[in-house]
Chains A and B, each alone.
Chain A
Amino acid sequence: MMNLLNYRRKKAPNIRFWIDCAGWIDKEMICVVGWVYHPEVEVGTLLVRQDDNPVLDNGNLFFRGVRPDVDQHFGRTDSVDKWGFIHFVKNITGIDPEHKVQFNFSNGDESQWVEVDCNQLSSSVVAQMAKNFGVDELFTFLRECKPFKCFQDVYAIVSSVADSLNSVAKERIHIDRAIPAGDSGLFLTGWNTLNHGEKLEMHVVSSSDISVDVVHCMNYFERNDISEMMSEGEGHNKYGFFVYVPFSCLKDDSKFLFVVSKLNSTVEGFEFEVEKPQPAINEVSSVIDFLDISDPNWTKQMDHTFGPALHALWQGRLRPEKVKTFQFGVKNSNIEKSIVVPIYGRYDFVMYQVSQFVDDPDFKTAELIYVLDDPSIETEFLKECESVSNLFSFPIKVVSTGHNLGYAGANNVGVNNAKGELLFLLNSDVLPMKKGWASRMERVYKKQKKIGILGARLLFEDQTIQHNGMDYFKTNDVGNVWLIDHPGKGMPEWMVERSSQDYRLVPSVTGACMVMKKHLYQSLGGFDEGYIIGDFEDSDLCLKAKSKGLKIMVLESEKLYHLERLSQNLNGGGKDRKHKLTLYNAYRHNKLWDEVIERHA
C-alpha cells in the first residue's frame, strides 16, 4: 500500500498532519487515512481541493483512532489522544479521478496543501487501517460505516481482517443454539472457557449487520460437562452462557460469525448457524428455560436479556395475513352488541354457553363471535359450531386466525370483525347466572359518565368469589414488580362486601368479562399483544383507559360464573415455565405502568 502513496508532511503553526493514503472506493467516494497532531487546539475540518478549486465535502464520517507511532514521534507517553483519522469524502461531483487531490485542515497552514494521488482502495484495506487504530475501534468503525454501500458486507470485511478464523476461538467457545428473535436479534447459548477476566470484545457479524459488544451482557451458569473437560480449572464451573444480541437478521442472511477480539491484540472468529424460525411459543419456551429465579441477578437479566429477547421473539411471531370468517345460522339484522369469545384448546364451552344464551332476549340484537386462536382444532371446532348453531337455532360467527396469536391478539381480531357498537369481551368458561345480563350491564354502562370499562362480579362453581375487580400489590420475592390481586378470591360472597349502589370504582377489571364501547377499545389500541400468551393485558387496557381519565367499574349486582380453567400451557413445561412467563409479563406490565399504578395506589 505504501508505494501507492505520496508522503508529505506539513508544518503548521497549530497543527501537524500526515496523509498515509487516500483512494477511491467503488468510484463513489474518496477515503483519506492519516493522522493529525493538534495537542493544544481543537482539530479543524478537513478541506479538499483539486487543481486549487475547493471540492464541496459534506464530511460524512470523520473517524478517529489512537496512533502510538505518532505519540512516539512527538515524544508523548501514556497518551490516549486519537491522532489517527479516516475520512470519507462523499460529494465528489466535479473531481477528475485522474488528477491529484489536495488536502488541508481548516486551521492548518493555508499556504501548504498536501497533494495526493488517488488510486483504488478496497473496504478491507480501510478496515485493516481502522483495526490498526486498535482492535476495539474496528467494530465501532464498521458500525459507523454501515450506511456506505461498500462497507455493507460486514461478514466479508471482518473475515478479511481477522487474524484467525475457525481456529483458536472455536476451541474455547461454542455456540449450542442460536435462536432468531424475529428479525431483531439472536438468543445465543453455549459455553465459553476463555478467561473471564481477560479484556475481550465479542461481536456477532453477518453479511448485513454487526452487533454491539456483548461481553457485558453475557450471563454465565454452571456447566459441569465442560468443567469436567477442562484440564486446568479456573476455580469455577460457570462455563455455560446465554446472551441476547440485538441484531438485524435479514431473511437472506445465511452466514454468521462470532468474533472475539482481544484488546490491542487479535481478532478471531468462527462461523455458526442460526436456527430456522420455529413457532414463537416454542422459542419463548427455549429462552425462558434459562431464567433462573434463584439467581439474585435475575431482575437485571430481565433488563438486558430476557426482556428484550422475549419482546423481540413475541413481536416477531407470525401473524395472519387474512383471517377466515364463518357464519353459522342467520345473523341478526340489527346488531347492537358484539360478544367476543376467544377459543384455545378446549371448545366444549361453546355448547354450554349457547345453551345459556339462546333464550335470552338480549341476543336478538347481539352477535356472538368465537375467535379460534388454535389452528390445530379448526376442523372439529367449525363442525361443533355448525352443530350447535343448528341444534339451538342460534347464530354463531367464527373468526379463525390461522395462528396462535395469544389472548390479546385473538380478542383484537375478534373486535375488528365485530359489528356491534357495544363490546362484551367474554372468556369461554364464563356462564351467566340470569338472562338479561348483557342489557343490565349495558344500562349501567350507558348511565355512567366518563366510564371506560365495566366488569361484573364473577363466581367460581362453588359460589365463591373469582373476581370483584382487581388490585395491585408488590412483593420482593417476585422482583418487586406490580402483581395483580383478586381481592376476596375464593371467599364466599358474604365475605366480600357489596356497594349499596351495586357498582363500585376499582383499579382494574378482568378481561374474562368486560363491557366497553367498540370505538373506545380501538382508540386505546385494543389489548397489547406484547404480553406472551395471555396475562396482564386486561389490566394494561384498564390502565390505558384510566390514563385518559376514564373510570373502571365493577357491577357487583351482576353475577356470572367464571370457572377459570387453567389457561394455555407452555409446551408441557408445567408450572415452572408458566411462573417464569408470568414474571416476564409482570415485568413488562411494570415497565409500562409502574408510575400510573403508584399514583393511583
Chain B
Amino acid sequence: MHRNKADKNMKVLIVSHGHPDFSKGGAEMAAYNLFREYIRRDIDAVFLARSGDLSHGGSVFSMRNTDKEILFHTSMHDWFNFRNATPRHIYRDFASFLSRFQPDVVHFHHYAHMGLEMIRVVKNTLPKTKIIFTLHEYQAICFNNGQMVKKGSFKLCTKYSPVDCAKCFPDKSPSDFFLREKYLKSLFGLVDHFISPSHFLIDRYVQWGLPKEKMTMLENGQIVDDKRATLTKKENDTIQFGYFGQINPFKGVDVLLEAFKKLPKEVAEKVHLNIHGANLEQQDSQFIEKIECYFDELENVTYHGPYNHDEQGVLMESIDWVVVPSIWWENSPMVIQEAFCYGKPVICSNIGGMKEKVKDEVTGFHFRFGNSLSLRDVICRIVELNNDSQISNNIATPLSVIEASDETFKIYRYIR
C-alpha cells in the first residue's frame, strides 16, 4: 500500500450522481467504495451525492449515514447541455459548500442530474483545487443516452459527428450538436485529469477531442474479500448460466434467450439459465411480450426478477458462467468485475469494454455481438468440454478498492 503522510492532509470531495443507499449503479458504487476507503485511511473526504427527493425544510443539502456523506437535492432540466434546473443550486449552494470545505481535490464521478456547470464553479470558487473526473460513460459524446448506438436501428456507432448525430435527432441540426460539443469541451477543458475504467472509453474520448495525456486507465476498485466459491461441482450437474443486470433492449437479454432457444435438445437438457434482472416492467410492451414469450417457452430458463446487491454473492456462487450479451459497447461492466471477484468466467459480446475486460479463451469466451447463433455455439462448446475448462483458474482477482485508491492518490499527487 502506497500511503503517504501528506495524503492525510489532503481534503477530497467526491461527487456522485447518486448515493448507493438509493441506487447501486456502477458509477455510484465506484465513487462510494473509493470514499469509504479514504475514510478508512483517515483522509478528510466528503461524499456529495445527488438526490431527487425533497429535503427537510426545502434545503438543498442533507446528511446520510455520517456527517461526511451529504446529499445534494437538485435536478437537471437540460439533458442536451447537462444544465441544472435551478442554477442557483450550483452557483450559490454548491459554491458555498466548496468554500466551506475547501477541498484540495474535487473528484467527479458524474454530472448527470446535477449539471456539468459544477466543474466551472469549482474552478471559479477554488482556482487551486485539482479537478479529477472519472468517466463512466459516453453521454458527452452521444446524446442518445451515451449508448453510441444509432437511434431506432440499434446499429453501433463508432464516432461523434454533428451531421450523423443530427440524423439520430431530426429535431436538432448539426450546428446544435456543434454548439453542444463546444460548450461541453469548454467545461471538460477545466478538468486536470481524467480517469477511465477502460481503454476503450479513453479511445472514444480521445477521438472526441480530449487530450490523451490527461487520461489514465484505472479499473473501478472492487471490495475483494475472499469471494471464491467453495461449492464443489459434481460431474453431472447441470451447467448454470447467469445473467445479472437491467433488462432492456441494449443489454441483449433477448439474444441470450434466443441462443437458448436454438440449443440442440441434448445440450438444452444439460444447461440452465438464471435471469437476475430488474426493470423489465419499465420497457415498452412489445419488448416485454417478447421476453415473456421466451420465459414461457423455455423450460431451462428461470426468471428470478430483481435482486438486492447484498444477495449477489449467494446468487453468483451457484452460477458457473456469467453472460454479458450487451449489444452496445459498455464501458467496464460492473458485473464482469464482480464475476471475476467470485472466480466466475464470463461469456460476452465481442465489442467495446466487454471485449477489453474478458480475454477470449483466457478468462471467458467472446461471441459475435447480437448474434444468437454465435452465442449458441459458445454454450454448446462449454457443454462439450463438460464445463471442464481451465478458464476459471486464469481469472485473476480484480483490482481492489485499496489498490484503486492508491493509484487514484498517485494521480491526485502528481498531476500538474
Chain A contacts to B: CB under 8 angstroms: 460-464, 466, 473, 475, 486-497, 562-564
Contact = CB atoms under 8 A, between A and B. Distances in A.
B67 A564 contact: no
B96 interface: yes
B200 to A, nearest CB: 39
Nearest to A429: B57
A324 to B, nearest CB: 32
Interface stretch (B58-66, B132-140, B167-175, B362-370): B58-66
B100 interface: yes
Nearest to B66: A492
B67 A493 contact: yes
Contacts of B73: 490
Contact of A492 (B56, B60, B63, B92): B63
Contacts of A487: 96
Contact of B101 (A461, A489, A495, A562): A495
Given A460-B62, A462-B62, A475-B88, A492 B67 contact: yes
B67 A460 contact: no
Contacts of A490: 55-56, 59-63, 70, 73
A491 B57 contact: no
A348 to B, nearest CB: 18
In the complex, the 9 A-B pairs of residues with the closest C-beta atoms, listed nearest first: A490-B61, A564-B57, A490-B59, A492-B67, A495-B100, A462-B63, A489-B59, A460-B56, A464-B63
B59 A464 contact: yes
Contact of A564 (B56, B64, B100): B56
Contacts of B183: none
Interface of B: 55-57, 59-64, 67-68, 70, 73, 88, 92, 96-97, 100-101
8 contacts: A461-B56, A464-B62, A466-B57, A489-B57, A490-B55, A491-B70, A495-B101, A563-B56
Nearest to B97: A491
Contacts of B60: 489-490
Contacts of A563: 56-57
Q: Is the interface of B mostly helix, strand, loop or mixed?
A: mixed
A490 B54 CA distance: 12
Given A475-B88, A492-B70, A463 B56 contact: no
Contacts of A460: 56-57, 59, 62
A97 B57 CA distance: 76
Considering residues B63, B64, B96, which has the most beta carbons from chain A within 10 angstroms of its beta carbon? B63
Contacts, number: 59
A170 B321 CA distance: 82
A488 B62 CA distance: 11
A562 B59 CA distance: 13
Nearest to A485: B92
Nearest to B54: A566
B56 A488 contact: no
Nearest to B64: A462
Considering residues A463, A487, A495, which has the most beta carbons from chain B within 10 angstroms of its beta carbon? A495
A494 B70 CA distance: 12
Given A463-B67, A466-B56, A563-B56, A489 B100 contact: no
Contacts of A493: 67
A279 B71 CA distance: 41
A492 B96 CA distance: 13
A564 B55 CA distance: 10
A484 to B, nearest CB: 12
B63 A463 contact: yes
B100 to A, nearest CB: 4
Given A464-B61, A493-B67, A488 B55 contact: no
A494 B57 contact: no
Given A464-B56, A464-B63, A489-B59, 4 more contacts: A460-B62, A464-B59, A473-B92, A562-B57
Contacts of A461: 56
Nearest to A491: B61
Contacts of A463: 63, 67
A489 B61 contact: yes
B307 to A, nearest CB: 29
Considering residues A489, A496, A563, which has the most beta carbons from chain B within 10 angstroms of its beta carbon? A489
A369 to B, nearest CB: 25
A487 B100 CA distance: 11
Nearest to B92: A473
Considering residues B60, B62, B73, B96, which has the most beta carbons from chain A within 10 angstroms of its beta carbon? B62
Contact of A491 (B64, B88, B92, B100): B100
A475 B93 CA distance: 14
B12 to A, nearest CB: 15
A564 B64 CA distance: 18
Contacts of A473: 92
B296 to A, nearest CB: 45
A568 to B, nearest CB: 15
A506 to B, nearest CB: 16
Given A490-B55, A490-B56, A496 B100 contact: yes
A343 B56 CA distance: 20
A564 B57 CA distance: 5
B208 to A, nearest CB: 34
A495 B103 CA distance: 12
Contacts of A564: 56-57
Nearest to B73: A490
A509 B334 CA distance: 49
A74 B92 CA distance: 72
Contacts of A489: 57, 59-61
A491 B60 CA distance: 9
Nearest to B72: A490
B191 to A, nearest CB: 25
Nearest to B99: A495
A496 B100 CA distance: 7
Contacts of A488: 96, 100
Nearest to A567: B57
Nearest to A461: B56
A562 to B, nearest CB: 8
Contacts of B55: 490
B218 to A, nearest CB: 30
Contacts of B67: 463-464, 492-494
A148 to B, nearest CB: 56
